[in-house]
């Protein structure tokens, strides 16, 4: 079974169990800096590259949309996210934005789903061959909604899938358009001793360090952020106009 249809009107793609390469190899980072002139510090928390084993799971083909989130609001009476009254960000087929991590978890729980771990997110985006973007190893700004060629806002889902922004597993638009919340706490040193199987960083929160991981880059960022291995972080209560999410189902 390659995909399932879920009750929140999402299609979820199957990601088989097995190993994949997580993180960025030092030689790949150096080549990206040389080729595109990107800042070398963008790669500081992406190493060392390491092999990870994940159990099988399903992940949503697209981020949660405004249409889907509106149904959640109507059925639960949950508070609306930031920018909900701004017509630039509330077309039905745009990814919902302005959601903080607590709101994303509330939606996932209502739908009988959950947020992905960052390892699950990365494997779904890049497959098992260590590719840099879902489509391969060469940056193409026409394939993703980023600051290079984008309109300066999120665009409807499917627009860049048609341009080739699809992972080896058929998961669409995992880079560009919106950042996506993950389950993990952010730790720049986590890869140095993270578990080989099904890792998820759960270090305790403290008042000055409560960051959680986001993945994928957004319409607000350039291509150096919109890579399969790129990591970013925010406090969980920070909903922004470039942050959304997609969900996962256990296999």
Domain range list for the chain: 3-250
Closest CA relative to residue 209, chosen from 229, 231, 185: 185
CA torsion through residues 225, 228, 229, 232, sign: positive
pTM of the model: 0.97
What confidence category does residue 205 fall into, taking pLDDT thresholds of 50, 70 and 90? confident
Q: What is the mean pLDDT of residues 158-165?
A: 97
Query: Quick check: 1 pLDDT over 80?
Result: no
**Distance set, CA 223 to CA 15, 20, 70, 96, 106 (Å):** 25, 23, 30, 21, 30
Q: What is the mean pLDDT of residues 41-63?
A: 97
Mean pLDDT estimate for the chain: 96
Query: Quick check: 249 pLDDT over 80?
Result: yes
Partners of 65 in the β-ladder: 95
CATH number of 3-250: 3.90.1580.10
Edge-to-edge strand list for the sheet holding 248-250: 3-5, 11-15, 57-60, 248-250
Query: Quick check: 206 pLDDT over 90?
Result: no
Range name among 6-20, 78-92, 194-208 with the lowest pLDDT average: 194-208
Q: For residue range 20-34, list pLDDT tens digits in order.
A: 999 999 999 999 999
Query: Quick check: 213 pLDDT over 90?
Result: yes
Query: Quick check: 100 pLDDT over 80?
Result: yes
Q: What is the mean pLDDT of residues 50-67?
A: 98
Query: Quick check: 131 pLDDT over 90?
Result: yes
What confidence category does residue 93 fall into, taking pLDDT thresholds of 50, 70 and 90? very high
């Amino acid at each position: 079974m390659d995909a399932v249809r879920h009750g929140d009107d999402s299609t979820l793609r199957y990601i088989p169990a097995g190993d994949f390469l997580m993180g960025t190899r030092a030689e790949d980072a150096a080549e990206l800096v040389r080729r595109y002139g990107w800042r070398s510090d963008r790669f500081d928390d992406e190493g060392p590259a390491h092999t990870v084993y994940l159990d099988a799971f399903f992940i949503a083909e697209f981020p949660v949309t405004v249409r889907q989130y509106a149904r959640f609001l109507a059925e639960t009476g949950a508070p609306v996210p930031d920018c909900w009254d701004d017509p630039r960000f509330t077309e039905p087929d745009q990814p919902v934005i302005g959601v903080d991590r607590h709101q994303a978890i509330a939606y996932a729980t209502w739908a009988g789903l959950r947020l992905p771990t960052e390892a699950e997110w990365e494997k779904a985006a890049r497959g098992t061959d260590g590719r840099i973007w879902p489509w391969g190893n060469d940056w193409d700004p026409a394939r993703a909604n980023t600051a290079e060629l984008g309109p300066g806002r999120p665009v409807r889902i499917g627009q860049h899938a048609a341009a080739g922004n699809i992972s080896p597993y058929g998961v669409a638009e995992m880079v560009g358009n919106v950042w996506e919340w993950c389950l993990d706490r952010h730790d720049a040193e986590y890869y140095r001793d993270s578990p080989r199987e099904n890792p998820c960083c759960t270090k305790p929160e403290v008042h000055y360090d409560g960051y959680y991981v986001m993945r994928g880059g957004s319409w607000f960022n350039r291509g150096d952020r919109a890579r399969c291995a790129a990591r970013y972080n925010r406090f969980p209560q920070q909903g922004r106009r470039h942050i959304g999410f997609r969900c996962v189902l256990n296999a």
